[in-house]
Structure 1
Amino acid sequence: MAAERIAYIQAQWHTEITDSCKTGFLGELARNGVDASTVDFFAVPGSLEIPLMAKVLAQTGRYLAICCSGLVVDGGIYRHEFVAQAVLHGIVQVSLETGVPVLSAVLTPHEFHEHETHVNFFKQHLLSKGAELASATLAIQQSLLTVGQ
């Protein structure tokens, strides 16, 4: 079976913000003639679980690309940049091991506070990051088709 679908993995922390990434992603796909019905959505508890889900999905052979979204913030308990680094390293590793593009819109702001100004800023920022994620997905698919993948 040839891969024909796109997987979209979303961490469930801060979904009131990261849902805008999905909105931007779907909007950009639609602007490029890609129907939302070609996208399968998967929820994981947090961003740290994204690489495992990406690997499991990549190994099915069903997906042209796997797109990931999440927001890793400093909760004051541990160094959030370590989590962000582990997530990014993990998804790059999945892509290299499986040959399936795994693209990231997992953001790690230097400062984040759950007040209206920051929430609104990051909603808008993730809306544009979602569109960028869709554009990158379509571009890498085209590039891989060019080289016969």
Structure 2
Amino acid sequence: MYSYEYPRPALTADCIVFAHADDGIRVLLVERGNEPYKGCWAFPGGFMNMDETTAEAARRELREETGLDVGAIRQLGAYDRVDRDPRGRVITVAYMAIVDDAGDVCGGDDAHDARWFPLDSLPPLAFDHDKILADACRMAINPSTGQLKSMG
């Protein structure tokens, strides 16, 4: 095992999933089952395993925490604010997906619950997920129509 002279940050991946719904756009959130932010709502996500890419980690965490598998995902960006996670130095790579409808989801793994929320009626979000959501909305929503863009 190699010993590093410099500390290394932890790496997570989050997945923001938008869905078309009769009453507008919905966003998939999970209720955190563990600290930090236990009981708060966040995007499905978690720590990357050493044998996977961040995209693979985002898909795995989404499936484990909600039961949802998605088609195309697009990298939104890396979020590295120094104090974004109270557990220590954690950088996340955020991905987003758009699905045709808000199908059934259920909380699994370390998510106590999983639920679709109307975009205009979200609970307070954990970590810096409000900033990530704002960036995702700029990328995913057509400002002139208010509708979701195509991922293609």
Q: Same fold (TM over 0.5)?
A: no
**Structure richer in strand, relative to its length:** 2
TM-score, normalised with respect to structure 2: 0.30
Q: Which has the higher helix share?
A: 1
**Alignment TM-score, normalising by the size of structure 1:** 0.30
